[in-house]
Structure 1
Amino acid sequence: MENFQVGRATLTWLNGGVNFLDGGAMFGVVPKPLWSKKYPVNDKNQIELRTDPILVQVDGKKILIDSGMGNDKLNPKQKRNFGVLEESSITSSLTELNLTPEDIDILLMTHLHFDHACGLTKRNEEGFESVFTNAVIYTSKNEWDEMRHPNIRSVNTYWEMNWKPLVNQVITFENEIEIVPGLKMIHTGGHSDGHSIIIFEENENCFIHMADIMPTHAHQNKLWALAYDDYPVTSVHQKEKWMEYGYQKNAWFTFYHDAYYRAIRYNETGEIEGSIERYRYEYE
């Protein structure tokens, strides 16, 4: 598992699963000859995407950013449509760190689409139960409201099995919230109405987790929005704002979905100054 230090925070990527989605959907109106130069594509026009939570250990707290693909939650049709190659092995990843799901103190849910939220619950004899039983789960109020009352489009990704067992663990916020000193969740909208990003700052040290308004390194261009975005113009403006902020801070940008990079640091002009590459497994 890849890990690195940003100030007093240690970041470790857990194995949350992998799927393959249509490249055109992931890059919206951007022509394939442009985006395919930035990110590999297979003969089915699909790109590889991880769903790997980031364990942030800071101030004695064990914090997860999103929860992975989950296990035994998707039916065969969904696995085929979503190109699922591998489900989560979060518990195994935590075991390697001498931890268990019960040791997680906090989950920061950037949004609650299935590929980020399925890892929150697991099957039991009665239905579903929470995986991270001792954790407080933070998400924006907009996201939590839509999760429980999806519209005709979002009903395909906001699933009851991913929220009903968690109602007593969730804390929502309106605009932004500080989790521990220097670590904030900020509501941006864009990819979903309730989408949030995560920022950690300590003196000159900074990381920014843009979640799905910049899901991979190939989405650095502020105009490259996903066809999956509910509010693509909002995504563009929010990405422009926070990318520029990160450039000025010489921040690390971290990724949940990127199959090739865990994090990239850009300089003031947006050029790559440093990177953490993802280890590629044998099947790849």
Structure 2
Amino acid sequence: MERLKLQNVTLTWLDGGVTHLDGGAMFGVVPKALWSRKYKVNENNQIELRTDPILIQADGVNYLMETGIGSGKLDERQKRNFGVTAESRLLESLDELGIVPGEIDFVLMTHMHFDHACGLTERVDGEYQSVFPNARIITSDVEWAEIREPNIRSQNTYWKENWEEISGQVETFTGEWSHGPIRMVHTGGHSDGHSILIVEDVEDTVIHMADLMPTHAHMNPLWVLAYDDYPMDSIAAKEKWMKYGKEKQVWFTFYHDAVYRAFKLDQDGKIGESIERQL
């Protein structure tokens, strides 16, 4: 497991499963001739996308950011459509670190699309139950409202089996939420309730752009997903936070990227210091 160790905070990438989605959908109006130079594509025009949660440990608190695609949640048709080649090993990853699900204090959800939220619940004896029963589950109030009443576009990605059984654990915020070294900031864009996450530890800063910048190939503010519900909001948020990140020399971290776990950008906007995913 790859780690990013700051002075008082440690980030560890866990195994949340693997999907392969259409490259055209992941890069929107950007021509394949351009995006395929920056991210590997297979013969079916699909790109590999990890769904790997990040365990953030600080001051004795266990924060889990996102929860992977789950295990046993997807049927064969869904696995085929979403190009799933490996389901989640999230609990096994935690076990390797000596952590049981009951020891997760917070689950931080940047948004609750199925590929981020399937790991919140599991089926036991035919019924769904919370995987992290003692955790406070944090997401924006806008996101929580939509997952419970999705519209005609979002109903395919907001699944009731991912939220009904954990509704009593959910705590929502308006605009911004903070705890310890962590802030969540509502940005909109990818979904109306989408948020990013910021970790500040002495002189180090981490920004997790979530699905505003799902891979290193999405650094250009104009390269937004066809999946984005509000692309102009995505562009505005990317411009703001990419500029901030470059100026402050922050670490950018990733949930979906198949190549990088984290990197910093130099003053020319090129990838500098980095942590690559170990194959």
Q: Give the TM-score normalised by structure 1.
A: 0.97
Task: Give the whole-Å Cα distance in 2 for the aligned partners of 1:29 and 1:12.
Answer: 34
Question: For residues 267 and 196 of structure 2, what CA distance do their matches in structure 1 show?
Answer: 20
Give the match for residue 175 of structure 2. 175
> Which residue is equivalent to 2:200?
201
Q: Confirm or deny: 8 A CA contact 1:204 1:249 kept in the other structure.
A: no
Q: Larger deviation: 244-253 or 201-210? A: 201-210
Q: Using the alignment, how far apart are the partners of 1:167 and 1:225 within structure 2?
A: 31
| CA–CA separation in structure 2 for the residues paired with 1:7 and 1:230 | 37
Give the aligned partner of residue 36 of structure 2. Answer: 36
Task: Give the AA of the match of 1:130.
Answer: S
What are the within-5 Å matches in structure 2 for residues 254-269 of structure 1?
Answer: 254-269=253-268
Of residues 200-209 and 248-257 in structure 1, the stretch that sits farther from structure 2 once superposed is 200-209
Cα distance between partner residues in 2 of 1:40 and 1:9:
32
1:211 and 2:210 matched: yes
The 2-side partners of 1:238 and 1:244 are apart by: 10
Cα offset, 1:108, TM superposition:
0.4
Taking the aligned partners of 1:188 and 1:18, their CA distance within structure 2 comes to 26
Alignment-derived partner of residue 10 in structure 1: 10
**1:132 CA drift (Å):** 0.5
Taking the aligned partners of 2:95 and 2:112, their CA distance within structure 1 comes to: 25
Q: Secondary structure at the match of 1:270?
A: coil
Give the counterpart letter for 2:211 in structure 1: D
Greater mean alpha carbon deviation, residues 268-277 or residues 82-91: 268-277
Is the counterpart of residue 220 in structure 1 residue 216 in structure 2? Answer: no
Equivalence for 1:275 = 274
**Matching residue's letter, 1:208:** I
SS at match of 2:275: strand
What CA distance in whole angstroms lies between the structure 2 residues aligned with 1:188 and 1:199? 12
**Structure 2 counterpart of 1:19:** 19
Shift of 1:268: 3.3
Pairwise CA distance, 1:125? 2.2
Distance in 2, Cα, partners of 1:166 & 1:91? 17
| Aligned match of 2:86 | 86
Equivalents in 2 of 1:160, 1:259: separation in Å?
A: 28
Any conservation in 1 of the 2:9–2:201 contact (CA below 8 Å)? no
Provide the residue aligned with 2:52 in structure 1: 52
Helix, strand or coil: the match of 2:16? coil
Unaligned 5+ segments in structure 1 are none
Superposed counterparts of 1:110-149, under 5 Å: 110-149=110-149
1:166 maps to 166
Letter of the structure 2 residue corresponding to residue 187 of structure 1: H
TM-score normalised by length of structure 2: 0.98
- Give, as a single letter, the amino acid of the residue that structure 2 aligns with 1:60: G
**How many angstroms does 1:203 deviate by?**
3.1
Deviation at 1:126, TM superposition (A): 4.6
Q: Which amino acid aligns with 1:27?
A: F
| Structure 1 contact 197–211 (Cα < 8 Å) conserved | yes
Q: 2:177 aligns to what SS in structure 1?
A: strand
Runs of 4+ with deviation above 3 angstroms: none
The CA deviation string for residues 3-34 of structure 1, in whole angstroms up to 9 with x for no partner, is 12123110000000001000000000001011
* Structure 2 contact 109–138 (Cα < 8 Å) conserved: yes
- How many percent of aligned residue pairs carry the same amino acid? 60
Q: What code does the residue aligned with 1:211 have?
A: A
Q: CA RMSD for the aligned pairs?
A: 0.8
